[in-house]
């Protein structure tokens, strides 16, 4: 499975700036999404009522399709943990306001469902194909990516897959579960156009993806994942990891050298589908071939997402030439 | 490779468990009644959260009703003896649209009343967390997934699990869906103005809306190797599935039922069947003007003049949203197992546009080889599943 296009909106200048991985730095203070000018990307009648998670997702979609001149993806797959949080909260406010009776406008209800991201993309494109939404908290994106991989094996092509979430004030305390008080809740969307054949050279292949829930032994799952792909730990040039607990870093240092490890969450900020950002970041690094934070050539990247410690997402990326 | 359905579990307004549901379906007994104090016609599961926690001996926690209804149906499907054999690759793919919203709204409103932003329980909104609770209660870990595509979610979770087995990623998987009644969805559908103040009348010319319901249903899907090792008995096979998109409107279905027709057509292709092979069709049939017309047009488009016996069972359970596709899939499995065609309650007059007449009497002793189930949701999300006799 090849990544023929990638697009990401984050709290740093990443949208339509391929090569961004060399320029981004660790987020230190609370920050905001660096939004592109949506006017050129989303028709006004759609844009008007959209909240961040919808706008970001659609902008990334349009960018991906434009990069490879594909009009209709063979499938549209979205991973989102919290979905359309803003509309959900807005509708709760409306219910509360109308608690003594009175009519409630349905607009925020109909856009509050998790699948309104994928649904709005299909509407905008007039796309009648497979349309799926995975919502497994911190591994929602990995579940979607697995779905995409199965479809490519089944003969579908040009599969659009992405991960997106938006932070809202009322959700900030979810981060207590993540144990990341020092990392600020963030938002982001990252989308990919995935193909069975490489559309350009050099390119990046997604070699494998897995996710596991309610785990007890992350290191053995990581080792097994690498063995399945005939690799040893030392053959991984860079491990992009996200973790919040010191114990997990020590789990990783038991397998990898310190210079192999890099915490992607310091760049993306904290949200439950930030492994999609990690994939865009990883693809971008592989396109450059090097990474300013490490003095080595990067050909193979493992994304190791334990944003929620009892769940693990593993994505293996490899640069391909010729 | 064959994908076998080896066990099922279900809780709905039409009954707690498979036996009660089957009895209700065969005897035409609806579970929908007027609910107090709202006065709405609802398909409620008559079990309190506290009674589920106590009868399933769950450790004390702030459970969402999504988790609890899920545990009731999943436990019935999974059985008490199915301890996880670690050599079999086992997983769960559930689905929900409400997730932990019932807990979240309770705390949110409480916080508003107290004039402060009560935020902590927002994390129970996480859909995937409800699936993890269900998995934990059954001793399942590893592949844990949750689908959320509104009212087609249950069918999509079943499809997802089947694809994981077919791709040789899993040997057996518990699949299904759950949604409880909550202020959020009750008010949501109220805001859309699509409630029938009386019993819903799917496919009837005079239909005026849906009745909301709650429930959960799960199926165990296994490959041949898993069945051998678990010594499980097959009930039927899952042979066809498809998800397609209407791409017409966020909530309304297209007048010609394009997405629905594509889903049925592609599911038939997947199962390598012609439309004439379908012996019973369990329709989405919510009872709204829009859905039933659109679905009727799609059924006409696929089946022409050879319409198989069909019915919507929503008048038994209410529209249970993400659970609907799973509940109706289990009803299809029961139809094959018992040779039954379940009646479409409250139907009197065919709609002018398509003149479709659903089955209105319970039929038993039929030989049903292939059965098709439709589920459609917001976002133009259309799914069809085909179950086949052994």
Task: Report the predicted TM-score, pTM, of the whole model to 2 decimal places.
Answer: 0.97
Q: How confident is the model at residue A107 (pLDDT cuts 50, 70, 90)?
A: very high
Determine what percent of chain B is predicted with pLDDT higher than 70. 96
Q: Which residues of chain A does B160 touch, with a Cβ-Cβ cutoff of 8 Å? A: 132, 147
The string of pLDDT tens digits covering residues A292-320 is: 888 889 999 999 999 888 999 999 999 99
Section A125-143 average pLDDT: 97
Helix axes B153-166, B324-338, angle to 10 degrees: 70
Q: Does position A177 have pLDDT exceeding 70, yes or no?
A: no
Nearest to A122 among B97, B109, B380 (CB): B380
Q: What is the pLDDT of residue B94?
A: 98
Beta-bridge mates of residue A212: A312
Q: What is the pLDDT of residue B236?
A: 98
User: Chain A neighbours among B 95-114 (CB < 8 Å)?
Assistant: 97, 99, 101, 104-105, 108-109, 112
Q: Which residues of chain B does A135 touch, with a Cβ-Cβ cutoff of 8 Å? A: 99, 126-128, 146-148
The string of pLDDT tens digits covering residues B81-127 is: 666 677 899 999 999 999 999 988 888 888 778 765 544 444 556 89
Angstrom distance (rounded) from CA B209 to CA B193: 8
CA distance B133 to chain A (A): 10
Among B372, B360, B202, smallest CA distance to B279 is for B372
CB contact under 8 A, A153 and B167: yes
How many CA within 13 A on the CB side of residue B89? 13
Section B195-218 average pLDDT: 98
Angstrom distance (rounded) from CA A52 to CA B363: 52
Angstrom distance (rounded) from CA A143 to CA A163: 10
Q: What is the pLDDT of residue A202?
A: 85
The string of pLDDT tens digits covering residues A242-300 is: 976 556 777 899 999 999 999 999 999 989 999 999 999 999 999 998 898 888 899 99
Q: How confident is the model at residue A321 (pLDDT cuts 50, 70, 90)?
A: confident
CB contact under 8 A, B148 and A115: yes
Q: Does position B13 have pLDDT exceeding 90, yes or no?
A: yes
- This model of the complex carries an ipTM of 0.97
Angstrom distance (rounded) from CA A191 to CA A213: 24
Angstrom distance (rounded) from CA A171 to CA B122: 6
Among B332, B342, B346, smallest CA distance to B387 is for B332
User: For chain B, what is the radius of gyration of the CA atoms?
Assistant: 20
Q: Which residues of chain A does B62 touch, with a Cβ-Cβ cutoff of 8 Å? A: none
Name the DSSP letter for residue A291.
B
Name the DSSP letter for residue A213.
B
> How many other C-beta atoms are found inside a 10 Å radius of the C-beta of residue B250?
18
Q: What is the pLDDT of residue B83?
A: 67
A240 and A302 Cβ atoms separated by less than 8 Å: yes
CA distance A86 to chain B (A): 12
Q: Does position B254 have pLDDT exceeding 50, yes or no?
A: yes
Q: What is the pLDDT of residue B331?
A: 98
The string of pLDDT tens digits covering residues B37-89 is: 889 999 999 999 999 999 999 998 889 999 999 999 999 999 876 666 778 99
Q: Which residues of chain B does A103 touch, with a Cβ-Cβ cutoff of 8 Å? A: 191
Q: Which residues of chain A does B98 touch, with a Cβ-Cβ cutoff of 8 Å? A: none
CB contact under 8 A, B117 and A122: no
The string of pLDDT tens digits covering residues B221-241 is: 999 999 999 999 999 999 999
Angstrom distance (rounded) from CA A259 to CA A294: 7
Residue B175, chain A, CB below 8 Å: the answer is no
CA angle (B251, B252, B256) in 5-degree steps: 145
Considering only B154-158, B174-178, B230-234, B300-304, which range has the smallest mean pLDDT?
Answer: B230-234
CB contact under 8 A, A174 and B123: yes
């Amino acid at each position: 499975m090849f990544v023929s296009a990638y697009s990401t909106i984050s709290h740093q200048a990443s949208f339509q700036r391929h090569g961004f991985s060399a320029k981004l730095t660790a987020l230190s203070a609370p920050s905001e999404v660096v939004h592109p000018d949506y006017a050129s990307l989303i028709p006004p009648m759609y844009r008007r009522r959209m909240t961040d998670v919808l706008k970001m997702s659609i902008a990334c979609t349009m960018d991906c399709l434009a990069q490879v001149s594909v009009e209709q993806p063979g499938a549209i797959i979205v991973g989102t943990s919290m979905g359309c949080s803003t509309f959900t909260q807005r509708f709760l406010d409306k219910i509360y306001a109308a608690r003594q009776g009175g009519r409630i406008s349905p607009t925020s209800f109909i856009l509050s469902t998790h699948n309104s991201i994928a649904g709005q993309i299909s509407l905008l494109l007039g796309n009648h194909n497979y349309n799926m939404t995975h919502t497994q908290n911190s591994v929602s994106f990995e579940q979607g990516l697995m779905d995409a991989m199965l479809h490519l094996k089944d003969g579908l092509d040009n599969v659009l897959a992405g991960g997106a979430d938006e932070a809202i004030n009322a959700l900030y305390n979810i981060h207590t579960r993540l144990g990341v008080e020092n990392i600020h809740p963030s938002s982001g969307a990252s989308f990919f156009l995935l193909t069975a054949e490489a559309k350009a050279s050099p390119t990046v292949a997604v070699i494998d993806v897995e996710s596991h829930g309610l785990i007890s032994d992350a290191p053995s799952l990581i080792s097994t994942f690498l063995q399945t792909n005939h690799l040893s730990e030392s053959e991984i040039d860079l491990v992009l990891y996200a973790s919040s607990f010191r114990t997990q870093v020590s789990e990783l240092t038991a397998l990898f050298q310190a210079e192999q490890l890099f915490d992607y969450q310091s760049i993306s900020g904290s949200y439950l589908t930030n492994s999609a950002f990690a994939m865009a970041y990883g693809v971008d690094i592989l396109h450059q071939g090097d990474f300013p934070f490490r003095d080595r050539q990067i050909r193979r990247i493992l994304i190791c997402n334990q944003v929620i410690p009892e769940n693990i997402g593993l994505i293996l990326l490899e640069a391909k030439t010729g | 490779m064959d994908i076998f359905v080896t066990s099922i579990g279900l809780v709905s307004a039409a009954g707690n468990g498979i036996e009660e549901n089957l009895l209700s379906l065969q005897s035409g007994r609806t579970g929908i009644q007027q609910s107090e104090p709202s006065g709405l016609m609802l398909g409620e599961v008559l079990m309190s959260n506290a009674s589920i926690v106590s009868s399933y001996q769950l450790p004390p926690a702030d459970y969402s009703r999504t988790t609890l209804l899920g545990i009731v149906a999943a436990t019935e499907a999974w059985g008490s003896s199915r301890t996880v054999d670690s050599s079999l690759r086992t997983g769960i793919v559930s689905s929900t649209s409400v997730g932990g919203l019932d807990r979240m709204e309770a705390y949110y409103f409480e916080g508003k009343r107290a004039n402060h932003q009560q935020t902590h329980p927002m994390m129970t909104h996480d859909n995937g967390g409800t699936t993890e609770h269900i998995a934990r209660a059954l001793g399942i870990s590893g592949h844990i997934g949750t689908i959320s595509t509104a009212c087609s979610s249950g069918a999509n979770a079943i499809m997802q699990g089947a694809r994981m087995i077919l791709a040789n990623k899993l040997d057996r998987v518990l699949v299904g869906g759950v949604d409880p009644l909550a202020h959020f969805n009750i008010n949501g559908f109220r805001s859309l103005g699509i409630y029938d103040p009386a019993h819903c009348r799917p496919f009837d010319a005079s239909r005026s809306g849906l009745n909301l319901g709650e429930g959960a249903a799960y199926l165990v899907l296994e490959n041949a190797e898993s069945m051998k090792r678990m010594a499980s008995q097959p009930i039927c096979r899952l042979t066809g599935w498809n998800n397609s998109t209407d791409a017409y409107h966020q909530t309304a279905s297209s007048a010609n039922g394009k997405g629905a027709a594509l889903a049925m057509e592609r599911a038939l292709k997947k199962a390598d069947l012609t439309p004439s092979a379908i012996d019973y069709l369990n329709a989405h049939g919510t009872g709204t003007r829009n859905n039933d017309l659109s679905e009727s047009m799609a059924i006409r488009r696929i089946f022409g003049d050879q319409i198989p016996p069909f019915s919507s069972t929503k008048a038994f359970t209410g529209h249970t949203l993400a659970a609907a596709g799973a509940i109706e899939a289990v009803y299809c499995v029961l139809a094959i197992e018992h040779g039954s065609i379940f009646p479409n309650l409250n139907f009197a007059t065919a709609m002018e546009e398509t003149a479709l007449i659903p089955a209105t009497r319970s039929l038993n002793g039929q030989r049903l080889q292939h059965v098709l189930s439709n589920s459609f949701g917001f976002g133009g999300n259309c799914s069809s599943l085909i179950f086949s006799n052994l």
